[in-house]
Amino acid sequence: MKPTQYRLLASLVAGGVMWARPAAAQPPTPPPPPAQQAAAAPAPRVFGSTTGVVLNFIKPDKTADFEAVVAKLKDALQKSANAQRKEQAASWKVYKSPDPGPGGSVLYVYIVDPVVKGADYTVATILAEAFPAGELAALYKQYTEAYATGQNFVNLALVSDLGK
């Protein structure tokens, strides 16, 4: 997807947020406590389409915390020995809307195009692969406390490429 297409898609998604019901938003998937990590993993977030969008509704006073965790997520993806994680990093972009979201929240949009088929996009899982338990717990606390209402995962199917 070209940069202008990303801007258009982000604008459309941001504009559509006014119709999104915050009650439908889901909180980020928590990692299990360290003692249970081997037995129970967070439910995977796998996109079922070629393009995916995640709407993140963040508290206005927690944007720096959210962006700090996004920076750690980027490090985790790029430094992973797992080729699939590097492929995810290559197609995963994060945008911030300049317009206020529902309830005064700040909207951050993940746009994944193309989606890595079958890949798990659960932030907690990706962070758990890269950081020790103590740091992971602090990151997860910082991440979850930044959310105003949660996340909305959206699978997108291309209807028409107007440039072709």
Query: Does the pLDDT at position 41 exceed 90?
Result: no
Residue 112 corresponds to which tokens in the numbers above?
């994944």
- Is 50 exceeded by the pLDDT of residue 114? yes
| Cβ atoms 143, 28 nearer than 8 A | yes
User: pLDDT grade, residue 16 (50/70/90)?
Assistant: very low
129 backbone dihedrals φ, ψ, rounded to 5°:
-75, -20
pLDDT tens across 67-86, in order? 999 999 999 999 999 999 99
CA distances from 55 to 17, 37, 88 (A): 8, 27, 17
Fold adopted by 3-14+44-156:
Alpha-Beta Plaits (3.30.70)
Given the structure tokens 């979201």, which residue do they identify?
101
Query: Cα(137)–Cα(127) distance, rounded to whole angstroms?
Result: 10
Task: Grade residue 59 by pLDDT with cuts at 50, 70 and 90.
Answer: very high
Domain boundaries, the chain: 3-14+44-156
